[in-house]
Amino acid sequence: MRFVNIEQLEHIVEVAKYQSISRAAEVLHITQSGLSLSITALEKELDLKIFYRSRAGAIPTDSGKEIIKKSVEALNKIRELKEEAYFQAHAITGDLRFEGMPGVMPTLVRTVAFLKKKYPSLNIEISEKGSFEIIENFKQNKVDMGFVALTQEMLQGKIGVDFEAIIKGKMVVCVGKKSPLSNRKKIHPQELIKETFILYKDDYVDQFMEALMKSFGHAQVLCTTNNSYAIEKALTEDVAITIGHDYSFINHPLIISGELVTLEVMPYPQQEVYFGWLNKRNDQLSVLSKQIIQFFKQDLTRDHSSDTF
C-alpha cells in the first residue's frame, strides 16, 4: 500500500464539509477534476468508497464517515506537530495583553502562570473590563486576547473578530449568605425587582436590568461600579444583591467558601450567552491562543463539563 498524503486527507475533509466537490475545489484553489481524481485515487488505495457522488453533491458513505473522522484527527495532530516545531524554532518573546470580564481573573491568573513557566521571556499584562469594552479594545489592537460574553444574536450578526466559544450560560442573581434569599435556589422576577442592587458596569447587566424593569417596574440601584471588591463587600454585608453572568461566579472563591450564593431567575426568558476568547490569527498568537483556550477548557471542565464545548 502506498502512503496516503496529507493533501488527500485535506481534500476529503473539505468535500465532506461542503458536500460539494465544486465548492471544496474553490476553497482549496484546485480544479474540480484534480480534486475528483485525488478522491478517486484515495478510494482505490483504501479499497472503499468514501463518497456517494451525484449531481446533487457528494455525501459520505458510512465507511467514508469513519475515514473522514480519522482524517480530521490526523490533520489536527499534524497541525500540533507543526506548531510545536514552530515553538522549537522561534523563541516566544514580547508583550501579551489580556482583558477579561468579571469572574475570569482566577482562571486567567492560572493561565498566565502556565504561560510564564513555559515562555519565561513573555511580558504579560492582564486587566478586567466589560465585554463590549474589551471587544472595542480588541478591534483597535489595544489588547491581544479578550475573554468576553456574546449573545447568539451577536454571533449570528458577526462582530468582525475571531471568537471561540468555550462555555454557555445566562444571567443569575448573587447574594451574600446573610441575605434571607441565601437558602433559595431561584427567585421570581416580581420578588427580585423589590431588592436593592449593586451592579457591575457592563452592557449585558444594563440590558438585563432594563428589560426586567420594563416588565416588572422600577428597581432600587445602590450604585454601579467596575470594582469587583466593592460588589463583594456589599454582598457579604447584605447591603445589596447583584446580577451577573453565571460564568462570573463559577470558580469565585466566595462562592466556593459559601460566603456568596447564586439563584436562578425563574420564570424569566433569557438569551443564551456564549463565553469565550477573542483571538488573532498571526503565527505566534495563533499558537499561544490555542494553548490558552485549551487550558481554559481543562480548568472549566473540572466542575462544569456539561456546559463546555
Q: What is the CB neighbour count within 10 angstroms for residue 67?
A: 23
Last residue of a domain, one of 63, 85, 107: 85
Instruction: Express each pLDDT in 44-68 by its tens digit.
Output: 999 999 999 988 889 999 999 999 9
Residue 249 amino acid letter: F
Question: Are 19 and 79 in the same domain?
Answer: yes
Instruction: Express each pLDDT in 110-165 by its tens digit.
Output: 888 888 887 788 888 999 888 889 999 998 989 988 998 888 777 766 566 778 88
Instruction: Express each pLDDT in 248-297 by its tens digit.
Output: 887 788 998 999 999 999 999 988 888 888 877 654 556 677 777 778 77
pTM (two decimals) = 0.62
Nearest-10 Cα torsion for 23, 25, 28, 31: -150
Amino acid 224: pLDDT: 95
Question: Are 35 and 164 in the same domain?
Answer: no
- Decide if 1 is inside a domain: no
Last residue of a domain, one of 85, 107, 134: 85
Mean pLDDT over the full length of the chain: 86
- Decide if 64 is inside a domain: yes
Amino acid 263: pLDDT: 96
Mean pLDDT of 87-112: 77
Amino acid 305: pLDDT: 44
Q: How many domains does the chain have?
A: 3
Residue 38 amino acid letter: S
Question: Are 279 and 152 in the same domain?
Answer: yes
Q: Which of 263, 245, 288 is CA-nearest to residue 182?
A: 263
- Decide if 19 is inside a domain: yes
Report the CATH number at residue 50.
1.10.10.10
Helix axes 62-89, 283-304, angle to 10 degrees: 120
- Decide if 198 is inside a domain: yes
- Decide if 204 is inside a domain: yes
- Domain range for 224: 171-265
Q: In terms of pLDDT, which residue wins out, 193 or 156?
A: 193
Report the CATH number at residue 162.
3.40.190.10
